[in-house]
Amino acid sequence: MEFIQFLQGELLLTGTLFALIILLIVNIYSEKNRKYQVVDTNGAVSLMDDDELIILDVREEKERTAGFLTNDLNIPMGQVKAKMDSLDKSKNYLVYCKSGTRSDRIADILSKNDFQKVSSLKGGFNAWLKADLPIQR
């Protein structure tokens, strides 16, 4: 009974608690139903053993002045849907951006459009730099 009175007295706290619980449930559900992989830099390097891997940079052209991964394909996020038909759905894709947010969105779009093997680089180009891995300029 005291717990219920506490929750009623602390509406902001109660609302925040329920919102966090809902976000946690949504996050768990999203991860279980995700059709693409999220890989760290070590996982990305392992993927690069595949000679036919397509490394897809979804950053804007101006962002590439900071550097880019060797032999990548740059299609800015806003252009991916329009150029999707020109990509081979049977290939293995590693998608990256600056921080991993845009690459997650594009990896999700690709996997929902029948691309079979899609991975997103967790932390994006920033994580790649932090791991002190090689880049091109």
Q: What's the whole-model pTM score?
A: 0.79
Question: What pLDDT, on the 0 to 100 scale, is given for residue 31?
Answer: 65
Q: What is the pLDDT of residues 28-84, one digit of tens each?
A: 766 667 889 999 999 999 999 999 999 999 999 999 999 999 999 999 999 999 999
- Angle at Cα 51 formed by Cα 84 and Cα 39, nearest 5°? 70
**97 given a catalytic annotation:** yes
Q: Where are the domains of the chain?
A: 2-31, 36-130
Beta strands in the chain (DSSP E): 37-39, 54-57, 73-74, 92-96, 117-121
Range 91-105 average pLDDT:
97
Q: What is the pLDDT of residues 120-136, one digit of tens each?
A: 999 999 999 999 999 99
**pLDDT of 112 over the 70 cut:** yes
- Angle at Cα 109 formed by Cα 103 and Cα 111, nearest 5°? 100
Catalytic residue among 97, 106, 110, 118: 97
Is the distance from CB of 119 to CB of 107 less than 8 angstroms? yes
Q: Tell the CATH superfamily of the 36-130 domain.
A: Rhodanese-like domain (3.40.250.10)
- Angle at Cα 17 formed by Cα 11 and Cα 23, nearest 5°? 135
Question: What pLDDT, on the 0 to 100 scale, is given for residue 29?
Answer: 65
